[in-house]
Amino acid sequence: MALLFGLSASAIFPTLFGLSNQLITMSGRTTGLIFLAAATGALAVPSLTGPLLEWAGTRAFPLLLAA
Protein backbone atom coordinates (compact mmCIF):
# COMPACT_ATOMS: atom_id res chain seq x y z
CA MET A 1 0.00 0.00 0.00
CA ALA A 2 2.80 2.42 0.90
CA LEU A 3 4.59 1.63 -2.36
CA LEU A 4 1.45 2.34 -4.36
CA PHE A 5 0.91 5.62 -2.51
CA GLY A 6 4.55 6.62 -3.06
CA LEU A 7 4.43 5.85 -6.76
CA SER A 8 1.21 7.77 -7.26
CA ALA A 9 2.35 10.78 -5.22
CA SER A 10 5.78 10.95 -6.86
CA ALA A 11 4.40 12.58 -10.00
CA ILE A 12 2.66 15.43 -8.17
CA PHE A 13 5.67 17.63 -7.35
CA PRO A 14 7.27 17.67 -10.82
CA THR A 15 3.90 18.26 -12.47
CA LEU A 16 2.99 21.16 -10.20
CA PHE A 17 6.50 22.58 -10.51
CA GLY A 18 6.18 22.56 -14.29
CA LEU A 19 2.72 24.14 -14.19
CA SER A 20 3.86 26.86 -11.79
CA ASN A 21 5.84 28.42 -14.63
CA GLN A 22 2.52 29.41 -16.18
CA LEU A 23 1.41 31.23 -13.03
CA ILE A 24 4.59 33.01 -11.93
CA THR A 25 7.88 34.04 -13.47
CA MET A 26 10.40 31.35 -12.59
CA SER A 27 13.76 32.89 -11.78
CA GLY A 28 16.63 31.19 -10.02
CA ARG A 29 15.53 32.72 -6.72
CA THR A 30 11.93 31.54 -7.15
CA THR A 31 13.06 28.04 -8.05
CA GLY A 32 15.35 27.95 -5.03
CA LEU A 33 12.55 29.06 -2.71
CA ILE A 34 10.22 26.38 -4.06
CA PHE A 35 12.82 23.68 -3.51
CA LEU A 36 13.65 25.08 -0.06
CA ALA A 37 9.98 24.88 0.92
CA ALA A 38 9.72 21.32 -0.43
CA ALA A 39 12.86 20.23 1.42
CA THR A 40 11.65 21.85 4.65
CA GLY A 41 8.36 19.97 4.37
CA ALA A 42 10.17 16.72 3.62
CA LEU A 43 12.25 17.27 6.75
CA ALA A 44 9.46 18.39 9.07
CA VAL A 45 6.70 15.93 8.20
CA PRO A 46 8.51 12.73 9.25
CA SER A 47 9.79 14.45 12.39
CA LEU A 48 6.25 15.39 13.39
CA THR A 49 4.56 12.15 12.34
CA GLY A 50 6.00 9.99 15.12
CA PRO A 51 5.01 12.23 18.03
CA LEU A 52 1.61 12.87 16.47
CA LEU A 53 0.88 9.16 16.11
CA GLU A 54 2.06 8.51 19.67
CA TRP A 55 -0.30 11.19 20.91
CA ALA A 56 -3.33 10.39 18.72
CA GLY A 57 -2.81 6.65 18.20
CA THR A 58 -2.47 4.65 15.02
CA ARG A 59 -6.11 5.19 14.07
CA ALA A 60 -5.16 8.76 13.16
CA PHE A 61 -2.81 7.57 10.40
CA PRO A 62 -5.40 7.71 7.56
CA LEU A 63 -6.26 11.26 8.59
CA LEU A 64 -2.57 12.12 8.62
CA LEU A 65 -2.18 10.82 5.07
CA ALA A 66 -5.19 12.83 3.94
CA ALA A 67 -3.78 16.04 5.42
Q: Supply the range of the domain harboring residue 55.
A: 26-67
30 in any annotated domain: yes
How distant, in Å, are the alpha carbons of 42, 48, 56, 61 from that of 39? 5, 15, 26, 22
| Integer Cα distance of 46 and 55 in angstroms | 15
33 in any annotated domain: yes
- How many domains, the chain? 1
39 in any annotated domain: yes
18 in any annotated domain: no
Write out the chain's pLDDT in tens, 67 residues.
Answer: 677 877 777 888 889 888 988 898 889 999 999 999 989 988 888 888 888 888 888 888 888 777 7
pTM of the model: 0.64
65 in any annotated domain: yes
For 18, half-sphere exposure in the C-beta direction (CA atoms, 13 angstrom radius) is: 5
13 in any annotated domain: no
49 in any annotated domain: yes
- What pLDDT sits at residue 1? 67
